[in-house]
């Protein structure tokens, strides 16, 4: 106050406004940072939601591709009985569909530095008989007969008679 009388009221005004300016800047930065953070979090949540939607769509597309490439037993039977497109389409491929399950896909999910191949649920579980030339089916005949008939039917429908010879060794006269 004594300086205000000696040097003028402007110096007193500057002395009071300095800390107020500093306080106002700090409050404004804090407020702006909070809004920017909330905005960034909302953008991030939207981006993650979009990525998860795209992942779901990619897995659905992969499941459909696998279903088309490896049809169910009813479709295999219908193809063989009615000589539909896809009969002898194998081109030497010896893959058989054993059933449905959670199957690893070609889809890649990147989370930071981690890369993962998520599984497609309820997708055809396929075995390549070229990579595994021996496939055993074990169990009581009531359970294995249908599986074996399905496997033989898939191979006979997929591969042409020039590429496949079927030999059955069984003590069961039904085979």
For the stretch 111-130, pLDDT in tens is 888 999 999 999 999 998 88
Between CA 16 and CA 71 the distance in angstroms is: 82
pTM higher than the cut 0.85: no
DSSP state letter for 69: H
Q: Which of 25-39, 45-59, 153-167 has the highest mean pLDDT?
A: 45-59
DSSP 4-51: HHHH-HHHHHHHHHHHHHHHHHHHHHHHHHHHHHHHHHHHHHHHHHHH
CA distances from 115 to 10, 66, 109, 112, 121 (A): 64, 22, 6, 8, 19
Q: How many CB atoms lie within 10 A of CB 1?
A: 6
């Amino acid at each position: 106050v004594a300086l205000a009388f000696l040097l003028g009221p402007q110096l007193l005004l500057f002395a009071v406004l300095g800390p107020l300016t500093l306080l106002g800047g700090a409050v404004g930065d804090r407020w702006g940072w909070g809004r920017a953070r909330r905005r960034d979090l909302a953008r991030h949540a939207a981006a993650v939601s979009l990525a998860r939607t795209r992942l779901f769509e990619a897995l659905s597309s992969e499941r459909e591709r696998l279903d088309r490439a490896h049809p169910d037993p009813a479709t295999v039977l219908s193809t063989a009985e009615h000589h539909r497109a896809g009969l002898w389409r194998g081109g030497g491929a010896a893959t058989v569909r054993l059933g449905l399950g959670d199957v690893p896909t070609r889809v890649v999910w990147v989370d930071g530095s981690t890369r993962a191949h998520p599984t497609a649920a309820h997708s055809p579980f396929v075995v390549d008989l070229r990579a595994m030339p021996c496939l055993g089916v074990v169990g009581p005949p009531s359970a294995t007969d249908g599986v074996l008939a399905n496997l033989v039917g898939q191979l006979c429908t997929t591969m042409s008679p020039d590429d496949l010879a079927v030999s059955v060794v069984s003590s069961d006269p039904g085979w």
